[in-house]
Amino acid sequence: MSQFYIFVKKECLHIWRDRRTLFILVWMPIVQIILYGFALTNEVKNSRIAILDQSKDDATTAISNEIAASRYFNLVKNLHSYRDIDATFKQGLIRMAIVFPRNFQYDLLHSNRAQVQIIADASDPNTANTLTNYATAIINDYQLSLNNNEQLPYTIKTQLRMLYNPELKGAYNFVPGVMALVLMLVCAMMTSMAIVKEKEMGTMEVILVSPLRPFWIIIAKTIPYLLVSVLNIACILLLSVFVLGVPITGNLGLLIWESVLFTVTSLSIGILISNGAKTQQAAMFTSMMSLFLPTLLFSGFLFPVENMPVALQVISNVVPAKWYYIIVKSVMIKGLGFFAVWKETLILVGMTLILLFISISKFKIRLA
């Protein structure tokens, strides 16, 4: 046991003395969570729009003012002809154009019917849909105010309740995803590189002739990274609560234990990669291709898994980050207990055991 302890101490010293890497390890997650937590959001706001007002009367001015005042829109241009619309779209200056025809108010007051056209740049379909909805809502409000808010007969009212995230903040969706991404990167990539580095430098030979069994050598390698990860988890959680304003509604202890479990899963992937790779560069490329991209794509935090073709949905099941993402969302944001996530936890445990078994049984005691 004392041999094992010495090995752990050696690995810790490795990391501790390589200040540059340690610096990156600690700061990268912090920078990322701040950068992505604030910047990555699908909320639509301040979208640049233009108005083509061919009528210029009280009604169109009132509607234009309402729209310009809304936080969703940013009126950047008043157009003068229908032809300008296409040109402005092509320069990428606006996302939407609103066209009022001639005699808008006259039609509205005399024939009780007027038309307005909303032209959206649908190259980004979701933004186009959202913007059209917002603009329609503003125009409908104006129409209601014309009717003196008179109650129409036979009205169905809809009461809307946004659960968990009433302000529709993007961070609620992204924080759990970034947690998965960061832990995966730090643990798997760094561990795999650390082990391969010994091979590359030739120091692996020294370790392999030590009396400690290979199993314990690997465990000793991963423990310092486990510690760094726990530090990372703490940083991320503190930042998300105090800086991003995403509260932890569930049990903090459960969340931390699940995170440690996921860390162990990532570490075992790192060991597996290091078995196959001969150079640090290869280890890095493998981690990037087999971990970074799948985590980004299949964990479900950027793109909804249920929209993907069935084949990809099946593939997404083997990505550990997907299960961790579900767990964090359930525990941290929905505030559910262990009984809601026991299945996902079991899957992660199973994956970890299998990965550990494969990587340890394949660990080569002899150098080629």
Partner 1 sequence: MRALKFLLQKELRQIFRDPSIFFILFIMPMIQLMILPLAADYEIKNINLGVVDHDHSGYSRKLINKIVSSGYFRLKDYSSTFSQALRGIELDKTDLVLEIPAQFERKLVKENESTILVAANAINGVKAGLGSAYIQGIIGDFNQDVRMQWIQAPRFNPQPTIDVEYSDWYNPDMNYRDFMVPGILVMLVTMIGSSFASNNIVREKEMGTIEQINVSPIKKTQFILGKLIPFWMLALAVLTVGLFIARIFYGIVPLGHYLTIYVFASIYLLAILGLGLLMSTYAQTQQQSMLVSFFVTMVFNLLSGLYTPIESMPQWAQIITRLNPVSYFIEVMRMVVLKGSGLADIKYQILALLGFAVFFNGWAIVNYKKRS
User: Which member of 68, 168, 252, 318 binds partner 1 (CB under 8 A)?
Assistant: 168
Q: What is the DSSP letter of 57?
A: S
Instruction: Closer to partner 1 by CB, 166 or 211: give it.
Output: 166
Instruction: Closer to partner 1 by CB, 98 or 355: give it.
Output: 98
User: Which member of 15, 26, 30, 146 binds partner 1 (CB under 8 A)?
Assistant: 146
- Rg value, the chain, Cα: 28
Residue the block writes with tokens 């832990």: 183
**Considering the rule CB under 8 A, would residue 161 count as an interface residue with partner 1?**
yes
- 72-91 binders of partner 1 (CB under 8 A): 74, 86-87, 89-91
User: Which member of 5, 16, 82, 164 binds partner 1 (CB under 8 A)?
Assistant: 164
- At 212, list the tokens: 């400690």
Instruction: Closer to partner 1 by CB, 199 or 329: give it.
Output: 329
Q: What is the DSSP letter of 42?
A: -
Name beta bridge partners: 125: none
Amino acid at 136: T
Choices 1-9, 168-176, 202-210, 252-260; region in contact with partner 1 by CB under 8 A: 168-176
Measured on CA atoms in the order 294, 297, 300, 304, is the torsion positive or negative? negative
- Inter-helix orientation angle 320-328/171-184, to 10°: 140
DSSP symbols for 288-346? IIIIIHHHHHHSSSSS-GGGS-HHHHHHHTT-HHHHHHHHHIIIIIS---HHHHHHHHH
Rounded distance, CA 237 to CA 69, Å?
Answer: 36
Residue 85 C-beta: closest distance to partner 1, Å: 8
Choices 153-161, 202-210, 232-240, 349-357; region in contact with partner 1 by CB under 8 A: 153-161
Instruction: Closer to partner 1 by CB, 160 or 209: give it.
Output: 160
User: Which member of 12, 207, 227, 336 binds partner 1 (CB under 8 A)?
Assistant: 336
- 269-328 binders of partner 1 (CB under 8 A): 280-281, 284, 288, 292, 297-298, 302-304, 306-309, 312, 326
- 92-121 binders of partner 1 (CB under 8 A): 92, 95, 108-109, 111-121
Amino acid at 315: I
**Considering the rule CB under 8 A, would residue 248 count as an interface residue with partner 1?**
no
Q: What is the DSSP letter of 147?
A: T
Residue 178 C-beta: closest distance to partner 1, Å: 10
- 55-74 binders of partner 1 (CB under 8 A): 74
Instruction: Closer to partner 1 by CB, 215 or 303: give it.
Output: 303
- Inter-helix orientation angle 338-361/214-242, to 10°: 150
User: Which member of 334, 350, 357, 364 binds partner 1 (CB under 8 A)?
Assistant: 334
Instruction: Closer to partner 1 by CB, 17 or 113: give it.
Output: 113
b/e map 318-345, b = 16+ CB within 10 Å: ebbbbbbbbbbbbbbbeebeeeebeebb
User: Which member of 139, 230, 231, 256 binds partner 1 (CB under 8 A)?
Assistant: 139
Residue 292 C-beta: closest distance to partner 1, Å: 8
Instruction: Closer to partner 1 by CB, 122 or 223: give it.
Output: 122
221 with 11: CB under 8 angstroms? yes
104 with 57: CB under 8 angstroms? yes
Instruction: Closer to partner 1 by CB, 3 or 74: give it.
Output: 74
- 193-222 binders of partner 1 (CB under 8 A): 193
53 with 60: CB under 8 angstroms? yes
User: Which member of 162, 365, 367, 368 binds partner 1 (CB under 8 A)?
Assistant: 162
**Considering the rule CB under 8 A, would residue 163 count as an interface residue with partner 1?**
yes
